[in-house]
Structure formats: structure tokens, C-alpha cells
Structure 1
Amino acid sequence: MRVLVIGSGAREHALVWKLAQSPRISKIYAAPGNPGMLPYAERVPLGVSQLHELATFVENKQIDFTVVGPEAPLIDGIVDLFRQRGLAVFGPVKAGAALEGSKAFAKELMTKAGIPTAGHQTFNDYKQARAYLESHGAPIVVKADGNAAGKGAIVALDSETAHEALKQMMVERAFGAAGDIVVLEDYLQGDEIGATAICNGTDFLPLALSQDHKRALDNDQGLNTGGMGVFTPLPFVDAAQSEQIYKQIVDATLHAMKNDGIDFTGVLYSNIMLTARGPMVIEHNTRFGDPETQAFMLLLKADVLNILEFGHGKTIDPQTLWHPGSAVSLTLASGGYPGRYNSGIPITGVEEANKLDNVHVFHAGTAMKDDQLVTAGGRVLSVVARGTSLQEAVDRAYEAASYISFEGMHYRKDIAHRGLDAVSKQ
């Protein structure tokens, strides 16, 4: 079986690495891929926005199955195009990807279906939005409606921050057309977690709950990032609450989509706040999370191809999915990230880190220059470790990170601190 993975980050590297372990796969391509994928996949010089060229490549190479990593091609309709050309592809159609591509659409759907989420108002007029901000006050969350590469949601704890965020989106157009419409949302308090499920239109396969660390600095300080690290599973969420999350949010969302005439297939990855009123949706994503996927792939025992094919009708036993224990991912970032940073800085120690037991280093933003691995992004590497306990996984991840070095490298020292606190109280 021939497989294509579309994307170039650590999420896609993790998927390629795990797919390469499937006895059913004979060849993997990655478009455009990254240097870390080279032992497992042939890189293809096609970008994620070249939808027609990607479809033609799949036809010419007689590729049996395509896995789409990032959200942008899904929102642009790559699944619709592939299906029109009779090509098997994992992911939702454009109408389904609107659940991530339009915050206003997602909010309307959840409100109509009674899915628990924060109160909100949607605006396409700056003056009206500003007037609402003045009457509502802070704290509040300001969200660009469209796809802003994970940077379009600003949690404003004071009115000045809220007004500045609104101005950047609607007047200065910091996110382009994504900010033509904004959603102003009530601020939720609690623990933020992620719920990931593989969906086939009517049913879903629940994967593990996880918790990302979005702030750049320890103790949840600093600016929001694409994710500085994840741990899974969550010791502070019991089986009853997990079932509630998947029933009231994931299952309810699938049914709401179906009622709108959309058979949602692929990944539904929901950001959820555990509030005093119960779990509430912050936002939905329609693809695998990053850095969640890296931790999932290391903890996964089953053949990932079988899991992806659940979205195409394959049956799988959830009890056979996972290795026992926990997995932790740790993001190694460029100096200055999530602000301005330099690229082309030599990286050392990745091979040494990869030699540790139950550890793998996935490439997020790297390149090769004169046979030397160098930085090529804000998030550079994702160091992932598995352990029989959460503490063992944490210790192993930080040990692996100690082998790696590049000028300006920084990472959080407190990944999984909420989980470790919960374990210590059990």
C-alpha cells in the first residue's frame, strides 16, 4: 500500500514515523515533508496549498491513501477535490472543515444543538463590535472568525488588551480576511484540555484526552504559542467525566453536523474548558493537534493505518489502542519565539537523544544546510517520551532534551505539572 502524508511539521513527522511501522504499507511519500522524515518517506516538492498538483501526483504514483495533516488544505477543500477524482483521503470535506475554518459557523452550530460553549456575539462591523466590548467589559476572548494559523484567539484580561486585539483584527487586518468577522466570547475559567476522536460520519473512535501548554513560559506566563508541550492521558479526568465529554460534545457535534447535511469524517479535536458548570467547548479543530499527535503516536500500540481507516468504515477495538502508561511531548523553540526569531542555526544532539529508550525527536521547523541540521521555524523540535508513569515520561523527555542544543533554544520546564500535582494527591 502506498501512502501520502501532506504537511511538514512535527505532527506529520510523527504520523509518518508511525505509519512506517505498519506492515501493510510499502511506500510513504511526504509533501513537502521535513528532514526528519527521510528515513521513512520520500519527500515531494509540493506545498500544502497546491491541491490540484497533489491530486495529480497521487494519480500518477497510484497512491492508495492520503493523510492531510494541517488545517489549511482541509478548509480549502482538498478532500472534496480528491473525492471528485476518486482518490481515498483522510479528513473532512470543506463543509465539515468549516467547523474549524469559521468560528462563527461553529458557534452557531453548537448554540443550535445545545452543545455547552461560552456565550458569544458575532460582528462584521468594527464600530458595533467596539460598542459591545465597551458594554461587556473584560475579561473576554476576541477571536478572528477565519483560519489564523492558531493565532487568532486573544484572551483579554483587561479592556485595553481587548480593544487592541479587536483593532488589530478588524482595522489593521493582522490576520487578513480571517478578521473580517470576529467572535466576542465570554471568558471561561478552569482547566483547558483536548479531546480527540476519529469520526466516520455517524460514529467515532475516542482517542486519549490530553493537555497542551500554550503559553511560552513556565507557570503559564508569556505569549500564546502553537503549543509548548503535551501530556496524555489525564489523571485528573475520571472515566465518568471522560464519557460525559465524548457524549455531550463529540457525539453531539457529529449529530449536529449530520442534521446540517454534513457527514463528518476524519479527526474532530475539541479544545474544552473544565469549568465549575461542567465541560464547555472553547473551539473545534478538524485535524490532528500539534503537539498532541506526537505524544499520541508514541503511546499508540495499534497500527495507526487501521485507526485512520476507521473514518472509512473499518472496525477497531478501543481496548487495543494504547501502551500502558503516559506520554509527554516537549517543544524546543527558537530564541524569541513566538515573536521574531532567527533561522539557520546549527542543531546538535538529536541522534543522541533518539538513542534513549521510548524516546523520539520529531522535527517541527528544521532544514539541512551544507549537510548540517539547522533551525527553520519557531517551534524547532518536539521531544517525546513514553513511560510506565507520568513522572517517568516527564523525566525521560527532559533527559532527552538535555542532549540537544542550538543557540537561543528555550523550552518550558514545567510540562505536565497539573498532571503530576493530580497524581501526588491520589
Structure 2
Amino acid sequence: MNVLLVGSGGREHALAWKIAASPLLTKLYAAPGNPGIAREAEIVALDVNNHGAVAAFCRDKAIDLVVVGPEAPLVAGLGDDLRAAGIRVFGASAKAAQLEGSKGFTKDLCREYGIPTAAYERFSDAAAARAYVEAKGAPIVVKADGLAAGKGVTVAMTLDEALAAIDACFDGTFGGAGAEVVVEDFLTGEEASFFCLCDGTTALPFGTAQDHKRVGDGDTGPNTGGMGAYSPAPVMTQEMIDRTMREIIEPTMRGMKEMGAPFAGVLFAGLMITDQGPELIEYNVRFGDPECQVLMMRLKDDILVLLNAAADGQLAHMSVRWRDEAALTVVMAAPGYPGTPEKGSVIGGLDDAGEGAEIFHAGTASKEGAIIANGGRVLNVTALGKTVSAAQKAAYEAIGRIDWPEGFYRRDIGWRAVEREEQQ
């Protein structure tokens, strides 16, 4: 098979690494890629916003499957345009991608289909949103409705913080994504990430993970796109998985089909496990980043077989096997992140992560033969271990081999699971 992978982050490097191991693969191309992905694929200079150019490339190279990593091309309809050109795609249609592209869309779907989620209201007017927040009080959650690269959500612990978040949305901090806001009740519990591969009809459970959104140790500081993750998430017991499928995923699949937007691709449910059970925080329509990295490390099966089955509507006949080990990834970030990151510092020591560890490139570039930091989240240092504690130890040992004085990272990734293991 000839495969084109769209994307340039740590998620796509992990996907490239796993796809490259498939016996089904003939040739892997990636656009725009990164220096890590270049070790697994041929990087091609394609403007992925030019859907006609992508389709022409696919015809020219006899591409059998396009795997779309990030959410923005899906929301922009890349999958629709490629399918219309007769090209097979793993990734949601534009209409189905509204599950991530509009938080209000998803909340309205939850309301209509009885899917457990925090109570909410939608606003397109700053004064009305501020009045609602002042009446409700804090803690409260303010979300830019559209895509904001993981930075449009404020979990406001004070009224002033909530009002500032509303102002930021309507003042254009998040561009068009903040033209409308969703304000929702604060949920108490433990967060978890739950994934399903979907083919429009069938949703196949595809692993659990727990992300760490706050920039600082002890879950302090502003939200980021994710500073680390581990898999599996202990809070996602089989009973909780079954409830999530029954109460959240299956009604979503049914609802999307009924509105003429059957969901095919990967459905990523961000959950809060409350005293009442699982509640939906948000949906994403792509593999999480950095959750994808730990899922790919643990996956036993050939990822291409599964992606093909999703693209062909054949998931009802599939199952997924996982390694017994846990996996943990630590994000190494550039100074200034999650604000404006400092780019250009040189990174060394990337060739030997140690046994059972992999270094996935997220925001790197190549300059004069050296690897340099070229983004906020720069590296995903990922390792397997018999326990989360063992995976954590291996990941931090791998970080010790990396020569990048400017990089920073959290030192407590996996702390909840490690605490659980110590108590057993």
C-alpha cells in the first residue's frame, strides 16, 4: 500500500512510526512532516490546504489511503474533497468534524440525545456571557466555540478569571474561534481520554489514556495542548468503558447518522469521571496529542489493517490487542510555552533513547544538519514499562540522554497512576 500521512506533529510522528512497521506498507509519504517523520517517510512539499493539489498528488503516486492527523484539515473538508475524487481516507467528513470544530454543536447534540455532560449555555454576545457568569459564579468553564489549538478553554476558579476569558474570546485572542463562547458548569472528578475507531456505523474501543493539561508540576499553571500522558488510564475500568460506550459513544454515533453526518475516523472523548459516572467534556476528531504516542507504543496490532477497516466500513469484524505494559510520554517544551515559544535552540542526543523508549518529534526543524526547536511542544519522550512507575522511570531516563538545556518539562507525569500503584 502507498499511504499519505497529513500532519507535522508528535501525533503524526507516532502514527508514521507505527504505519512504517506494517507489512502492508509499500511507501509512506508525509506532508508537511518534520525531521522525525522524515526517518519513517518521504517528506513531500504539499500545501494540504490546496485540496486539489493533494488529490493530484494522490493520483500521481497511486496513494491507496490518506491518513489525516490534525483536526483543521478535517474541519476544512479535506476528507470530503478526497473522497469525491475517489481517494480513500481515514478521517471525518467536515460535517462530522463539527464535533470538534464547534463545541456548541457537540453540547447541543448531547442535550438532544441525553448524553451526560456539564450544563451549559452558548453566547455570541460578550455582555450576555458576562452576565451569565456573574449570576452563576465560579468555578466555571469558558470555551471558545471553534478550533483554538487546544488553548481556547479556561477552567476559571475565580469570577475575574472567567470574565477575562470571555473578554479574550470576544476580543479576538483566538481569532474566529472565539466569535461564540460556550460557558459550562465546572465538573469535579478525574479526567480520562477514551478513543474509538469509527466507520460510520460501528465504534470500536481503541484504548484509554490520561493527559496532563496544565503546564506545571502538580497540575498548576495555564492549560496547554498537553504536557504528557500515560496509558492505560486506571480510572477507565471495564465497567466505566462499557458505560462510556452505552451512554456517550453509541448515542453520538446514532445522532450523527440521523443528521446525515455518519462519523468515520477516530473519535476521542475527553471525559470527566464523576461520582455519577462518565460525563463528556469535549470531543476531538483525531488521535490525541500526546495520547497518540502512548497508544501507538502499546498497540500490538497492525495499525494499517485497522485504518483500512475504518475507511471501508468493516470495523464490525475487527478487534484490538494491546501490550500488557503501560506507556508514558513526557513533553519537552520550548521556553515561553504555552505563550510565545523561543525557537531556534539546538537539540542533541536524540539518537539513543534507550531500550523500550522512543523520541517523537513534535515541533522540530532541521537547520544546517542540526535539529532545532521550532514550536512550543518540541519532543515527546515515550517509554514502555511493566507498570506506569516503570514507564515513568524509563521516560525520564531517556530525557537524561537528551542534550537540550533550553527545554523544560513536567517532572510528575503519571503521578495519579503512580500513587495508585504505591497504594496497592
- TM-score bracket, normalised by the shorter chain, equals over 0.9
Taking structure 1 as the reference length, the TM-score comes to 0.97
Partner of 2:38: 38
Correspondence 1:66-81 to 2 at 5 A = 66-81=66-81
Q: Is this contact kept in 1: 2:204–2:315, CA < 8 A?
A: no
Partner of 2:366: 368
**Partner letter of residue 76 of structure 1?**
A
2:290 aligned with 1:280 = no
**Partner letter of residue 233 of structure 2?**
L
Partner of 1:155: 155
Q: Distance in 2 between matches of 1:54 and 1:293?
A: 24
Partner of 1:378: 376
2:266 aligned with 1:267 = yes
Correspondence 1:90-109 to 2 at 5 A = 90-109=90-109
Q: Is this contact kept in 2: 1:49–1:72, CA < 8 A?
A: no
SS at match of 1:230: strand
Correspondence 1:15-414 to 2 at 5 A = 15-170=15-170, 172-311=171-310, 312-315=312-315, 320-353=320-353, 356-414=354-412
Q: Is this contact kept in 1: 2:202–2:315, CA < 8 A?
A: no
**Partner letter of residue 254 of structure 2?**
H
Q: Distance in 2 between matches of 1:357 and 1:339?
A: 34
| Residue deviations 1:167-192 (CA, integer Å, cap 9, x gap) | 1111x111111111111111111111
Partner of 1:6: 6
Q: Which runs of 4+ in 1 moved over 4 A?
A: 315-320
Q: Distance in 1 between matches of 2:49 and 2:139?
A: 36
**Partner letter of residue 401 of structure 2?**
Y
SS at match of 1:95: coil
Q: Is this contact kept in 2: 1:307–1:316, CA < 8 A?
A: no
| Cα shift at 1:337 | 1.1
SS at match of 1:35: coil
SS at match of 2:421: helix
**Partner letter of residue 32 of structure 2?**
P
Q: Distance in 2 between matches of 1:232 and 1:260?
A: 33
Change (3 A) 1:388 1:316: farther
SS at match of 2:366: strand
| Cα shift at 1:316 | 7.5
| Residue deviations 1:313-333 (CA, integer Å, cap 9, x gap) | 335777652111111111011
The percent of aligned pairs where both chains have the same amino acid is 45
Q: Is this contact kept in 2: 1:335–1:407, CA < 8 A?
A: no
| Residue deviations 1:247-274 (CA, integer Å, cap 9, x gap) | 2111221111112122110000010001
Q: Distance in 2 between matches of 1:297 and 1:62?
A: 26
Q: Is this contact kept in 1: 2:383–2:391, CA < 8 A?
A: yes
SS at match of 2:39: coil
SS at match of 2:379: strand
Q: Which runs of 5+ in 2 are unaligned?
A: none
**Partner letter of residue 194 of structure 1?**
S
Cα RMSD for the two superposed structures? 1.3
SS at match of 2:97: helix
Q: Distance in 1 between matches of 2:26 and 2:318?
A: 26
Q: Distance in 1 between matches of 2:49 and 2:263?
A: 22
Q: Distance in 1 between matches of 2:191 and 2:372?
A: 33
Q: Is this contact kept in 2: 1:199–1:310, CA < 8 A?
A: no
SS at match of 1:38: helix
Alignment: residue pair count: 423
SS at match of 1:352: coil
SS at match of 1:219: coil
Q: Which runs of 5+ in 1 are unaligned?
A: none
**Partner letter of residue 347 of structure 1?**
I
